[in-house]
A and B are shown apart, each in its own frame.
Chain A
């Protein structure tokens, strides 16, 4: 899952929002929790015989599905940490898919990625102007951004994609793919190991294999953004000021922080991240822009962020969970779902016995 990269980042947060009531999560504790979780998974797999549960393909698929959700969640995190609720993530993602595809099929995928970010940031700017300058209710503004993004991209498609060969008013021509990396020896070895279906070892191999097989470079960038966000928001003066604008703008203002500026920056970055998530959907996941492609992932990203208690690591965990269940559904159906039910049953028993 995409979480293993990010969980290191969540190791150190010292003051989660609701004070220090929870025991501190140190790196060894986190690794232990992950190992325990994996062992449980392994047990369920052996009992139910659903060997696809932790296969390389499953994990790699889950990662691919988790990245757009995670990027949207990261966008939500930036905005909320600066005190702006961003329901407009969905619209900003839509802008990201459209601009990403529009630039992508003409000038190559990386230009598409940049334009996707720019498109999302444009949506973020609009949201910032409405909420920060005009002081309008954040949710109302977000809903408006969503409507406008949907209308604008559908309208623009008529003038751009519809006139291109291979495109229509509902979808773009094909975009060149971004290079994918597979670590030559390691991937095969891990896949072999996973095929042996040993308890725990094969599962670990499957998860690691999924993380190093057929990995798009943009996925790597997206994964890196999680620790980068954590570092920028919690280990720099810039991040401290930005969070202070969310926690207590009046106090921040009195200490000489330009609250308006920081809120603008945060919401624009938020839009840019959501736009990147959209560009990922168009360029990496499908290689094409389709109308309605985002399918509510902006909202899910917001949910993933709240699930993660407004922290990047937790958010990544949430996104990974959503990606994993999506992947289970796509790949296989009943067997996997029954195995998951077993897992939930075990967890419930454990929770009850606690």
Chain B
């Protein structure tokens, strides 16, 4: 067993706590500057969260965000920045909805087909960026941004009634047609609404993520390549193959991000389908520091901000304050992580310096922690 290091834990907690405190204070400053009560909106948001229907909304949203953030985090662990999660998620949801609406299968098979199609499409779209990176050295940041734009146009074209979409009578919206009931994922009935069944799949996937990364050889290779691709290569890891694999996995998980909404709520893809989930996923992965538990709490926090701010308008406050707060949280988080890291480094150096000055032989970190 690893020895419990109190200081390290404290330092690890200091980052997010400091960041959240700073973000709250800065948001209050913004509210004050715009001549609004600096505390009242927060109180209203907490009030809203006490209603069971809002709680259900928050949990459902958390599932979607959790998947999107996991997709981003897989890339982060490899030092890959998959900005294209949003495009992969939308394209995957759209194609999966098309196929789901076109076939008629017994329940579990129908759902499995939709899910697998979504994963394949997401992986395919991310794989393009992966192949470009491994064969031509194209930065995945740029290629995935471009692929997002292409996905937007591709969806707009595919969903035209003359291609694969249809227009419901009396509506301006275009949809992909409804998935028959056999392809609906069973939901959990609770007071206040239904929790999408796929939300639980999402959380289970968090465990899979943890297990694969920390308990398998593949996960070790992945993390090693992320930490130092040259060192990993020297120890026999095929870095190119790892890049491609990580992109494919990231894309497949991104493809799943649309499933809670598609299988649990809309049962069709239309222009009302939520956009920007992938970008929120980046925020959440950063906030949660790529750890499955951290991401869960970060997703919960962002969903809380999203869903409880919706009612602020009715009380005379602008709901956009939640977006400002999200931006401030990201900035505060990354800056405070960096500051805490630097502080930890200095502390460690000082400790070692003291030990040496006292004339002791250098102890290993493990012994020093005793």
Q: Does A141 lie at the interface of the complex (its beta carbon under 8 Å from any beta carbon of B)?
A: yes
Given contact pairs A134-B338, A141-B331, A144-B334, A158 touches B149 in the complex (Cβ within 8 A)? no
Q: Is the interface of B mostly helix, strand, loop or mixed?
A: helix
Q: Does A193 lie at the interface of the complex (its beta carbon under 8 Å from any beta carbon of B)?
A: no
Q: Which of B309-332 contact A (CB under 8 A)?
A: 318, 320-328, 330-331
- Using a CB–CB cutoff of 8 Å, the interface residues on chain B facing chain A are 30, 34, 81, 83, 139, 141-142, 145-146, 148-149, 279, 282-283, 286, 318, 320-328, 330-331, 334-335, 338-339
Contact A151 B334 (CB under 8 A): no
Give Cα A151–Cα B321 distance, bound, in whole angstroms: 7
Max count, chain B CB within 10 A of own CB: residue among A134, A139, A300: A134
B34 CB contact (under 8 Å) in A130, A137, A140, A159 = A159
Given contact pairs A136-B335, A139-B81, A147-B326, A302 touches B321 in the complex (Cβ within 8 A)? no
Inter-chain residue pair count (beta carbon < 8 A): 84
B149 CB contact (under 8 Å) in A139, A144, A296 = A296
Q: Which residues of B contact A303 (CB under 8 A)?
A: 142, 145-146
Contact B324 A152 (CB under 8 A): yes
Q: Which residues of B contact A299 (CB under 8 A)?
A: 145-146, 149
Contact A148 B324 (CB under 8 A): yes
Nearest A residue to B280 by beta-carbon distance? A147
Shortest C-beta distance, A321 to chain B (Å), equals: 13
Nearest B residue to A87 by beta-carbon distance? B141
Max count, chain B CB within 10 A of own CB: residue among A135, A148, A149, A303: A148
Given contact pairs A151-B324, A154-B320, A302-B142, A140 touches B334 in the complex (Cβ within 8 A)? yes
Q: Which of A144-164 contact B (CB under 8 A)?
A: 144-152, 154-155, 158-159
16 more CB-based (< 8 A) A-B contacts, given A155-B320, A303-B146, A306-B139:
A87-B83, A87-B141, A130-B334, A136-B338, A139-B141, A141-B331, A143-B83, A144-B327, A146-B279, A147-B283, A149-B327, A151-B323, A155-B34, A158-B320, A299-B149, A303-B142
Shortest C-beta distance, A303 to chain B (Å), equals: 6
Give Cα A294–Cα B83 distance, bound, in whole angstroms: 18
Nearest A residue to B36 by beta-carbon distance? A159
Max count, chain A CB within 10 A of own CB: residue among B279, B331, B334: B331
Shortest C-beta distance, B42 to chain A (Å), equals: 16
Give Cα A178–Cα B338 distance, bound, in whole angstroms: 45
Contact B142 A137 (CB under 8 A): no
Shortest C-beta distance, A137 to chain B (Å), equals: 7
Q: Which residues of A contact B324 (CB under 8 A)?
A: 148, 151-152, 155
Q: Which residues of A contact B326 (CB under 8 A)?
A: 147, 151
Q: Which residues of B contact A139 (CB under 8 A)?
A: 81, 83, 141
Give Cα A151–Cα B306 distance, bound, in whole angstroms: 13
Shortest C-beta distance, B147 to chain A (Å), equals: 11
Give Cα A158–Cα B316 distance, bound, in whole angstroms: 11
Contact A151 B320 (CB under 8 A): yes
Shortest C-beta distance, A44 to chain B (Å), equals: 23
Q: Which of A202-220 contact B (CB under 8 A)?
A: none
Given contact pairs A147-B326, A152-B324, A135 touches B318 in the complex (Cβ within 8 A)? no
Q: Which residues of A contact B149 (CB under 8 A)?
A: 296, 299-300
Given contact pairs A136-B338, A303-B142, A147 touches B318 in the complex (Cβ within 8 A)? no
List 5 A-B residue pairs with CB atoms under 8 Å apart, sorted by A's residue number. Answer: A143-B282, A144-B327, A152-B327, A155-B323, A296-B149
Interface size class of A (residues with CB under 8 A): 20 to 34
Given contact pairs A134-B335, A136-B335, A300-B149, A147 touches B323 in the complex (Cβ within 8 A)? yes
Nearest A residue to B321 by beta-carbon distance? A155
Contact B338 A144 (CB under 8 A): no
Nearest B residue to A133 by beta-carbon distance? B335
Q: Kindly list the 3 A-B residue pairs having the minimum CB-CB distance in the complex, ordered from nearest.
A: A148-B327, A151-B323, A151-B324
Contact B323 A150 (CB under 8 A): yes
Given contact pairs A139-B141, A151-B324, A134 touches B282 in the complex (Cβ within 8 A)? no
Shortest C-beta distance, A84 to chain B (Å), equals: 14
Shortest C-beta distance, B304 to chain A (Å), equals: 16
Q: Which residues of A contact B335 (CB under 8 A)?
A: 130, 134, 136
Given contact pairs A130-B334, A147-B326, A158 touches B318 in the complex (Cβ within 8 A)? yes
Q: Which residues of A contact B279 (CB under 8 A)?
A: 143, 146-147
Give Cα A101–Cα B320 distance, bound, in whole angstroms: 19
Shortest C-beta distance, A148 to chain B (Å), equals: 3
Nearest A residue to B327 by beta-carbon distance? A148
Give Cα A15–Cα B327 distance, bound, in whole angstroms: 40
Nearest A residue to B332 by beta-carbon distance? A144
Give Cα A302–Cα B144 distance, bound, in whole angstroms: 13
Q: Which residues of A contact B282 (CB under 8 A)?
A: 143
Contact A302 B145 (CB under 8 A): yes
Contact A306 B142 (CB under 8 A): yes
Shortest C-beta distance, A155 to chain B (Å), equals: 4
Q: Which residues of A contact B339 (CB under 8 A)?
A: 134
> Per-position contact with B for A155-184: 1 when CB-CB < 8 Å, else 0?
100110000000000000000000000000
Shortest C-beta distance, B301 to chain A (Å), equals: 14
Given contact pairs A139-B141, A155-B321, A144 touches B331 in the complex (Cβ within 8 A)? yes
Shortest C-beta distance, B205 to chain A (Å), equals: 24
Max count, chain A CB within 10 A of own CB: residue among B34, B322, B327: B327
Q: Which residues of B contact A146 (CB under 8 A)?
A: 279
Contact A137 B320 (CB under 8 A): no
Given contact pairs A148-B327, A151-B327, A154-B323, A136 touches B142 in the complex (Cβ within 8 A)? no
Shortest C-beta distance, B329 to chain A (Å), equals: 9
A143 CB contact (under 8 Å) in B139, B325, B330 = B330
Q: Which residues of B contact A158 (CB under 8 A)?
A: 318, 320
Give Cα A147–Cα B286 distance, bound, in whole angstroms: 14
Shortest C-beta distance, B12 to chain A (Å), equals: 18
Shortest C-beta distance, B65 to chain A (Å), equals: 14
Give Cα A147–Cα B320 distance, bound, in whole angstroms: 11
Q: Which residues of A contact B142 (CB under 8 A)?
A: 302-303, 306
Nearest B residue to A147 by beta-carbon distance? B327
B334 CB contact (under 8 Å) in A136, A150, A296 = A136
Shortest C-beta distance, A41 to chain B (Å), equals: 24
B283 CB contact (under 8 Å) in A126, A143, A155, A306 = A143
Q: Which residues of A contact B146 (CB under 8 A)?
A: 299, 303
Shortest C-beta distance, A238 to chain B (Å), equals: 28
Nearest B residue to A157 by beta-carbon distance? B320
Given contact pairs A134-B338, A155-B318, A296-B149, A144 touches B323 in the complex (Cβ within 8 A)? no
